[in-house]
Amino acid sequence: MPDACHVPGDDRGLAFGDGLFETVLMRAGQPLLWSCHVKRLARGCQTLDIPMPSLDALEASFKPDAARGLEVLKLIVTRGSGGQGYRAPEVPEPRLLVSYRRFTAPVERWRQGACVRLCELRLGHQPRLSGIKHLSRLENVLARQEWRDPNVHEGLLLDTQGLVVEAVSMNVFWRDRGRVFTPALEQCGVAGTLRDALIEQGHVDIAEIDARALLGVEALWVGNSVQGLWPVHTLVDADGGAVARWPLTTGGLQREAHRLLGYPDSF
């Protein structure tokens, strides 16, 4: 499995979105939540029947170095070339692409919270693809096109039945009667690694909620393994009007999330 910064035009990741990706927070050249990323990638490979790259191949680009600050490592695994149309080759030769970008922690969002748009696009149900981080992501791209206002920081996505699923590039968490919940993602949505880790450590439970009920929760957050956890202070509709506001909620879930990511408790 050769590393590459280019792929040929017949790569199935390009042709059909036939592959997976991971975006990993790196600090001083070391990954955060690495075991969660590896687990999700393995789940995706199994779902799509793509051979899982070896740990050695995935970790070959790590360069531990105290002088390196925050970075985001992006790993793309495609099924490679070959096959006939949608039909995959019997023995796929996956392609692994590795890239790094520098990253600045979004301290302002942690501190001031986020304004989140209730997106108009509804996620379609596809249980065969839900949870995994595959490359067929046009729904997320279309949802992100709904706004350009820089004061809107994320978009909340419902499914075709009106249930809350996720944010455009984050998961959603809410507090109700003192307990914290996140949607199940059995029909659609990406199961983020921060969400996985928070569930595993017992900080978050699974529940179902629709948009109307969400307006009445005690606190709302969006978060992922790169951006950390953002308290939501305002939910706006498609016209930009506020449909719900919350007092700023730091500590609690945010502290647990940031502990997992090596982010500071106070900022």
Helices (H), 24-76: 34-48, 55-59
User: What is the C-alpha to C-alpha distance for residues 209 and 226, in angstroms, rounded to an integer?
Assistant: 25
Kindly report each contact of residues 56-60 with a partner whose C-beta sits within 8 Å and lies 24 or more positions away, as own/partner.
57/1, 57/96, 58/96, 60/3, 60/98
Q: Which position among 2, 85, 178, 202 is part of the footprint of its own copies (CB under 8 A)?
A: 85
Residue 81 interacts with its own copies (CB under 8 A)?
no
For its own copies, the closer CB: 153 or 203: 153
Is 35 a binding residue for its own copies by CB under 8 A? The answer is: no
Report the C-alpha gap between 51 and 93 in whole angstroms. 8
Told to check if 241 binds its own copies by CB under 8 A, we report no
Our answer to whether residue 186 is catalytic in this structure is no
* Residue 162-191 contact track with its own copies, rule CB under 8 A, x = bound: ------xx------------------x---
User: Looking at 1, 16, 29, 152, which residue binds its own copies (CB under 8 A)?
Assistant: 16
Rounded to an integer, what is the distance from CA 135 to the centroid of its chain? 12
**Is 166 known to be catalytic?**
yes
Q: Any idea of the CA torsion for 59, 63, 67, 72, to the nearest 10 degrees? A: -40
Under rule CB under 8 A, residue 27 binds its own copies: no
Whether 74 is catalytic: no
91 makes contact with its own copies (CB under 8 A): no
Q: Candidates 58-66, 122-130, 209-217, 255-263 — which segment interacts with its own copies by CB under 8 A?
A: 122-130
> Roughly how many angstroms between the first and final C-alpha of the chain, as a whole number?
42
Measured from the CB atom, the residue of 79 and 203 that comes closer to its own copies is 79
For the bound state, the minimum distance from the C-beta of residue 150 to its own copies, rounded and expressed in Å, comes to: 11
| Minimum distance of its own copies from residue 221's CB (angstroms) | 19
Using CB under 8 A, which of 144, 152, 176, 243 touches its own copies? 144
Question: Of 185, 209, 210, 187, nearest to 195 (Cα)?
Answer: 185
Of the candidate residues 64, 89, 124, 162, the single one contacting its own copies (CB under 8 A)? 124
Complex with its own copies: residue 33 or 88, whichever CB lies closer: 88
Per-residue b/e over 196-212, b at no fewer than 16 CB within 10 Å? bbbeeeebbeeeebebe
Query: Residue 142, interface with its own copies (CB under 8 A)?
Result: yes
Residue 107 CA to residue 226 CA, distance in Å, equals 12
Instruction: Scan residues 36-55 and list those touching its own copies (CB under 8 A).
Output: 48-49
Beta strands in 142-215 (DSSP E): 154-159, 164-167, 171-176, 179-182, 205-206
Residues in the chain: 267
List contacts with its own copies (CB under 8 A).
4-18, 21, 48-49, 76, 78, 85-88, 90, 97, 99, 121, 123-126, 128-129, 134-145, 148, 160, 168-169, 188
Which residues participate in catalysis according to the annotation? 23, 133, 166
